[in-house]
Amino acid sequence: MDGGGGQGVLSYFTSSTSVNIDLETGVASGGDADGDVIIGDTFVFATGTGSDIISDVSINVDIVAISAGASQFSDLTLTRFGDDTIVQFSNTTITLRDVLPAELDANDFVF
Protein backbone atom coordinates (compact mmCIF):
# COMPACT_ATOMS: atom_id res chain seq x y z
CA MET A 1 0.00 0.00 0.00
CA ASP A 2 1.31 3.44 -0.90
CA GLY A 3 -0.68 6.34 0.48
CA GLY A 4 1.15 8.69 -1.91
CA GLY A 5 0.45 12.33 -1.27
CA GLY A 6 -2.98 11.58 0.12
CA GLN A 7 -4.25 9.51 2.98
CA GLY A 8 -4.57 5.74 2.92
CA VAL A 9 -5.90 3.37 5.54
CA LEU A 10 -4.68 -0.16 6.08
CA SER A 11 -6.41 -2.14 8.81
CA TYR A 12 -5.87 -5.67 10.07
CA PHE A 13 -8.76 -5.38 12.49
CA THR A 14 -10.39 -8.59 11.30
CA SER A 15 -7.19 -10.67 11.24
CA SER A 16 -7.63 -13.75 13.38
CA THR A 17 -3.91 -13.82 14.28
CA SER A 18 -1.20 -11.27 15.01
CA VAL A 19 0.54 -9.38 12.22
CA ASN A 20 4.16 -8.19 12.01
CA ILE A 21 5.01 -5.01 10.10
CA ASP A 22 8.66 -4.26 9.32
CA LEU A 23 8.90 -0.55 8.49
CA GLU A 24 12.45 -0.87 7.20
CA THR A 25 11.52 -3.33 4.47
CA GLY A 26 7.84 -2.45 4.17
CA VAL A 27 6.92 -6.12 4.40
CA ALA A 28 4.03 -7.32 6.54
CA SER A 29 3.53 -10.92 7.61
CA GLY A 30 1.28 -13.05 9.75
CA GLY A 31 -2.48 -13.31 9.67
CA ASP A 32 -4.18 -11.21 7.02
CA ALA A 33 -0.93 -9.27 6.44
CA ASP A 34 0.94 -12.13 4.73
CA GLY A 35 2.49 -10.84 1.53
CA ASP A 36 1.51 -7.18 2.04
CA VAL A 37 3.99 -4.41 1.26
CA ILE A 38 3.45 -1.14 3.11
CA ILE A 39 4.77 2.32 2.35
CA GLY A 40 3.62 4.88 4.89
CA ASP A 41 3.60 5.79 8.51
CA THR A 42 0.18 5.42 10.15
CA PHE A 43 -0.80 2.13 11.77
CA VAL A 44 -4.39 1.66 12.90
CA PHE A 45 -5.37 -0.51 15.85
CA ALA A 46 -8.58 -1.09 17.80
CA THR A 47 -9.87 -3.21 20.65
CA GLY A 48 -9.57 -6.89 19.84
CA THR A 49 -6.67 -6.69 17.39
CA GLY A 50 -4.63 -9.01 19.62
CA SER A 51 -0.84 -8.80 19.83
CA ASP A 52 0.94 -6.96 17.04
CA ILE A 53 4.57 -5.93 16.40
CA ILE A 54 5.77 -2.81 14.57
CA SER A 55 9.48 -2.88 13.67
CA ASP A 56 11.68 0.11 12.85
CA VAL A 57 9.41 2.84 14.18
CA SER A 58 10.57 6.38 13.38
CA ILE A 59 9.87 8.61 16.39
CA ASN A 60 8.10 11.89 15.50
CA VAL A 61 7.38 10.48 12.01
CA ASP A 62 5.31 7.31 12.38
CA ILE A 63 1.88 7.48 13.99
CA VAL A 64 -0.05 4.81 15.86
CA ALA A 65 -3.77 5.39 15.39
CA ILE A 66 -6.16 3.91 17.95
CA SER A 67 -9.67 3.73 16.48
CA ALA A 68 -11.37 1.99 19.43
CA GLY A 69 -10.53 0.90 22.95
CA ALA A 70 -8.67 4.05 24.04
CA SER A 71 -9.60 7.69 23.57
CA GLN A 72 -6.52 9.50 24.88
CA PHE A 73 -2.83 8.95 25.57
CA SER A 74 -3.45 8.41 29.29
CA ASP A 75 -5.61 5.36 28.43
CA LEU A 76 -2.46 3.58 27.20
CA THR A 77 -0.05 1.59 29.35
CA LEU A 78 3.55 1.87 28.10
CA THR A 79 5.99 -0.70 29.47
CA ARG A 80 9.65 -1.16 28.69
CA PHE A 81 10.63 -4.67 27.62
CA GLY A 82 14.34 -4.72 26.82
CA ASP A 83 14.85 -2.20 24.01
CA ASP A 84 11.16 -2.29 23.05
CA THR A 85 7.97 -0.65 24.27
CA ILE A 86 4.81 -2.62 24.92
CA VAL A 87 1.69 -0.49 24.37
CA GLN A 88 -1.45 -1.93 25.97
CA PHE A 89 -5.09 -0.86 25.95
CA SER A 90 -8.29 -2.85 26.34
CA ASN A 91 -7.31 -6.37 25.21
CA THR A 92 -4.76 -5.16 22.65
CA THR A 93 -0.95 -5.28 22.82
CA ILE A 94 1.37 -3.52 20.38
CA THR A 95 5.13 -4.02 20.55
CA LEU A 96 7.19 -1.13 19.18
CA ARG A 97 10.63 -2.55 18.40
CA ASP A 98 13.72 -0.53 19.38
CA VAL A 99 11.65 2.27 20.94
CA LEU A 100 11.78 3.17 24.64
CA PRO A 101 8.70 4.48 26.49
CA ALA A 102 10.52 7.74 27.31
CA GLU A 103 10.80 8.44 23.56
CA LEU A 104 7.01 8.41 23.11
CA ASP A 105 4.40 11.03 23.88
CA ALA A 106 0.84 11.91 22.89
CA ASN A 107 2.05 13.30 19.54
CA ASP A 108 2.99 9.77 18.41
CA PHE A 109 -0.65 8.62 18.72
CA VAL A 110 -4.01 9.69 17.34
CA PHE A 111 -7.39 8.63 18.69
| 4 has pLDDT over 60 | no
pLDDT of 95 reads 92
Q: What's the average model confidence in pLDDT over 32-59? A: 72
Q: Any idea what DSSP says for residue 103?
A: G
| 1 has pLDDT over 50 | no
**pLDDT band at 40, cuts 50/70/90?**
low
| 51 has pLDDT over 60 | yes
Residue boundaries of the structural domains of the chain: 20-110
Higher pLDDT, 60 or 93: 93
pLDDT of 8 reads 56
State the burial class of residue 24 (Cβ atoms within 10 Å of its Cβ: 0-12, 13-18, 19+): exposed
Going by C-alpha positions, the residue among 35, 37, 8, 13 that lies closest to residue 23 is 37
Separation of alpha carbons 84 and 47, rounded Å: 21
Going by C-alpha positions, the residue among 34, 97, 101, 43 that lies closest to residue 67 is 43
Query: 7-11, 34-38, 68-72, 79-83: lowest mean pLDDT where?
Result: 7-11
b/e per residue 76-109 (b: at least 16 CB within 10 A): bebeeeeebbbbbbeebbbbbbebebeebeeebb
